[in-house]
Structure 1
């Protein structure tokens, strides 16, 4: 069970309302087996007997549905979905008894989860209509604390635009200070993550992928899509390399690892204007829940 955010634009509530919300997923060992979308896919397969029909019912592509099924089969260690051989009545897709039990278990967990949220809302004084409509940034922040990744930079924002391509999509995300981060991801990733305009997302960027340019104007003639202007916050020197952080508008901080020689050559000290530059292909996108 995980706290998750829900924007006021989705619910019709004001940005200052506070409620209790959350999401549930199933795990196999340390790997996530699936959440509501994947379980809905399994249920739709059981109802339709067709991958095509099930994918359409849950808003997935045919390939995205099979990718999800393959992942679930592998993580569960036993088949959950099987293709039936064609015959007089034609082929189809069926759920195994293990998958049927999994769906029943999921529905029972969801019922208990809803009861838990109702009790939590009542105990915290957040019960009533507002608790079912709004979810403020406090819970979103708590969910971010649980994110574990080796990427030094975790930039949270809102999806502003998606340019769809045949294979890859270009996703633009607006940071709190108004600057934009652009990522190139596969179409399957866009669908699997549920990326859409207005959705909350996190951009992961390794510090080693970030190039620093002194000044705000000097980075305007570079091919890299991402150019975030700010001011040097801290410089932590090592024997050869240094970690330099930039304070961006809106409170976001981005870090870069550069050589000590580059720090000296660029005159990077606290308060100096600089720009963090990195390629769209260096950005990994993630979502909560």
Structure 2
């Protein structure tokens, strides 16, 4: 049976990185160029070295010329025959450069291993960093965990549990559920434009809108026509609504007042960190 995206098992997150050598603002080389130098040392031939590291002959010579220029001294020298023949050797400076790079690379690897092991809940924090760096035009970005997936005839209902105990429901296609790997317990976030959020007094009114998030008005900022209202939910989540000034006055919205954010399930976009 073929595995779907929702059943894919992800490998644990680990720290990674590469070492690059620079000369001023120019890059002297990284692992690829050092590997080329090492291959020249081992084979005594540019042609054989280029082949062993998966580089074209011209690309190898261009890299060598660049390294010679940036280093300010010759790293590679050719015996009689030039580029078309003869042996190719490394200068003492190039041999030292390889050893220095390998030593730095070993220490860099040890540092990454120690850092990864020292950071408790690294995978969770890394996902959080990813969310913090996310840019979207939707004003409301609510992170949570999928608490329920209900399959329908055409679309699925995704229930996302928010910090503080409330939940928000979104309607997505079957394809989106599979593509995003949505299942109970998985991390996800809801994107909601502020203009899609309606506000009402905290009553027991019955509405067709699936989402009714209760909170406390944290602030009301009025403009020429519309007002921006921030509603604080339990658990530290804030949801923002854009309504008319007249609506804000009619509801008597003021800081500290209880209110309910009403959002249609079809207005909620679900996303995940890849």
Task: Indicate the TM-score class for this superposition, using the shorter chain for normalisation.
Answer: 0.5 to 0.7
Distance 1:118 1:287 in 2: 30
Q: 1:167 aligns with which of 128, 148, 154?
A: 154
What residue in structure 2 maps to residue 21 of structure 1? 14
What residue in structure 1 maps to residue 134 of structure 2? 147
Tell me the SS of whatever aligns to 1:250.
Answer: coil
What residue in structure 1 maps to residue 179 of structure 2? 192
What residue in structure 1 maps to residue 225 of structure 2? 240
Shift of 1:207: 0.4
C-alpha distance 223-232 of structure 1, shift in aligned 2 (>3 A): same
Q: CA RMSD in A?
A: 2.7
- Larger relative contact order, structure 1 or 2 (CA cutoff 8 Å, min sep 6): 1
Tell me the SS of whatever aligns to 1:127.
Answer: helix
C-alpha distance 237-191 of structure 1, shift in aligned 2 (>3 A): same
C-alpha distance 173-120 of structure 1, shift in aligned 2 (>3 A): farther
Query: Deviations along 1:123-155, whole A, 9 cap, x unmatched?
Result: 52x438x88xx5354322211112111101001
C-alpha distance 264-192 of structure 1, shift in aligned 2 (>3 A): same
C-alpha distance 278-118 of structure 1, shift in aligned 2 (>3 A): farther
Tell me the SS of whatever aligns to 2:246.
Answer: helix
Q: Determine if the alignment matches structure 1 residue 275 to structure 2 residue 260.
A: yes
C-alpha distance 119-204 of structure 1, shift in aligned 2 (>3 A): farther
Q: 1:255 aligns with which of 212, 236, 240?
A: 240
- Answer yes or no: is the 8 Å Cα contact 1:20–1:121 preserved in 2: no
Query: Deviations along 1:183-233, whole A, 9 cap, x unmatched?
Result: 000000000000010000000011000000022x24x41100000000000
What residue in structure 2 maps to residue 127 of structure 1? 117
C-alpha distance 281-138 of structure 1, shift in aligned 2 (>3 A): same
Distance 2:226 2:234 in 1: 26
Shift of 1:167: 1.7
Shift of 1:165: 1.7
- Answer yes or no: is the 8 Å Cα contact 2:15–2:112 preserved in 1: no
Distance 2:164 2:223 in 1: 30
Shift of 1:119: 4.8
What residue in structure 2 maps to residue 61 of structure 1? none
Tell me the SS of whatever aligns to 2:152.
Answer: coil
Tell me the SS of whatever aligns to 2:208.
Answer: coil
Query: Deviations along 1:64-108, whole A, 9 cap, x unmatched?
Result: xxxxxxxxxxxxxxxxxxxxxxxxxxxxxxxxxxxxxxxxxxxxx
TM-score normalised by length of structure 1: 0.56
Distance 2:189 2:176 in 1: 14
C-alpha distance 279-120 of structure 1, shift in aligned 2 (>3 A): farther
Q: How many residues align?
A: 176
What residue in structure 2 maps to residue 222 of structure 1? 207
Distance 1:166 1:227 in 2: 25
TM-score normalised by length of structure 2: 0.59
